[in-house]
């Protein structure tokens, strides 16, 4: 038999108990979404059956630094709007190519980060008739990375995801 005392514990007439319950359920109400949020790992991108870690977000400060450096070092050839030089896909008379665009219309996003940074630092491969000189002497790694982030900020999402996949795989 429930004793009178215990019955009183559950009785709604005991305001301290109700308060305690309210406090505890309040805590639960808060804890539950927090737990859900902790479990909600961002979905990986699946490309051709391979899971790729989620696309990293671009750092706004670096993109701004990259914009400044790009204007100073790259825009003369690749265009202030990253549009490249006219007919960039057609070789010139000497066999070299005009500067390609840096945005999604070009092929920069077909290459992984490592290769792009290598081209920026060391220039194009003369074996392929490349004429672009490297910037390794004038720019440090952080600056080249900033320019690359700025260039990436001009790619559409499909280009960015593909390029991230090539880089991350
Ligand atoms: C003097 C002109 C010139 C300047 C300045 C220049 N480029 Fe280039 N760039 C070219 C040309 C031309 C090509 C095509 C390949 C070649 O001939 O080397 C090229 C190719 C590239 C490529 C490889 C092609 C691609 O789309 O993947 C990258 C990456 C690149 N440039 C980045 C840069 C960056 C970043 C800067 C500034 C730091 C820069 N370039 C400055 C002329 C230039």
Q: What is the value of pTM for the model shown?
A: 0.74
Q: Are both 33 and 95 inside the same structural domain? A: no
Q: Are both 28 and 104 inside the same structural domain? A: no
In a domain, 33, yes or no: yes
Q: In this predicted structure, what is the pLDDT of residue 69?
A: 97
Cβ of 108 closer than 6 Å to ligand 1, yes or no, is yes
CA 18 to chain centre: 49
Q: Are both 32 and 57 inside the same structural domain? A: no
Over range 26-53, report the average pLDDT: 64
Ligand 1 atom at minimum distance from 107 CA: 26
| pLDDT exceeds cutoff 80 at 131 | yes
In a domain, 45, yes or no: no
Q: Kindly state the percentage of the chain with pLDDT values over 90.
A: 34
Over range 79-84, report the average pLDDT: 86
| pLDDT exceeds cutoff 70 at 20 | no
Count structural domains, the chain: 2
Buried b (16+ CB within 10 A) or exposed e, 98-110: bbbbbbbbbebbe
CA of 31 to the centre of ligand 1 (A): 52
Band of pLDDT at residue 100, cut at 50, 70 and 90 = confident
Q: What is the CATH number of the domain that holds 127?
A: 1.10.760.10
CA of 67 to the centre of ligand 1 (A): 15
Q: Are both 114 and 90 inside the same structural domain? A: yes
CA of 32 to the centre of ligand 1 (A): 52
What is the extent of the structural domain holding 26?
6-38
Q: In this predicted structure, what is the pLDDT of residue 39?
A: 57
What's the pLDDT tens digit per position in 148-160?
Answer: 999 999 988 888 9
| pLDDT exceeds cutoff 90 at 135 | yes
What's the pLDDT tens digit per position in 84-99?
Answer: 888 888 888 888 888 8
Cβ of 96 closer than 6 Å to ligand 1, yes or no, is yes
Q: Where are the alpha helices (DSSP H) in the chain?
A: 4-10, 15-39, 60-73, 75-78, 113-122, 141-152, 157-168
Q: How far is it, in rounded angstroms, from Cα 58 to Cα 140?
A: 19
| pLDDT exceeds cutoff 90 at 2 | no
In a domain, 145, yes or no: yes
Q: Are both 55 and 33 inside the same structural domain? A: no
Nearest CA to 63 out of 168, 145, 156, 141 is that of 145
Q: Are both 64 and 134 inside the same structural domain? A: yes
């Amino acid at each position: 038999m429930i004793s009178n005392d215990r019955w009183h514990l559950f009785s709604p007439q005991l305001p301290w108990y109700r308060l305690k319950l309210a406090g505890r359920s309040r805590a639960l109400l808060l804890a539950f979404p927090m737990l859900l949020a902790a479990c909600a790992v961002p979905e990986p991108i699946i490309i051709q059956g391979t899971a790729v870690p989620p696309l990293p977000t671009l750092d706004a400060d670096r993109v701004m630094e990259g914009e400044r450096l790009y204007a100073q070092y790259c825009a003369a050839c690749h265009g202030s709007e990253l549009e490249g030089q006219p007919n960039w896909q057609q070789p010139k008379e000497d066999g070299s190519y005009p500067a390609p665009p840096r945005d999604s219309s070009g092929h920069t996003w077909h290459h992984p980060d490592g290769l792009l940074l290598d081209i920026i630092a060391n220039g194009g491969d003369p074996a392929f008739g490349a004429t672009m000189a490297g910037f390794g002497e004038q720019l440090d790694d952080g600056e080249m990375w900033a320019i690359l982030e700025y260039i990436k900020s001009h790619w559409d999402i499909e280009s960015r995801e593909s390029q991230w996949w090539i880089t991350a795989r």
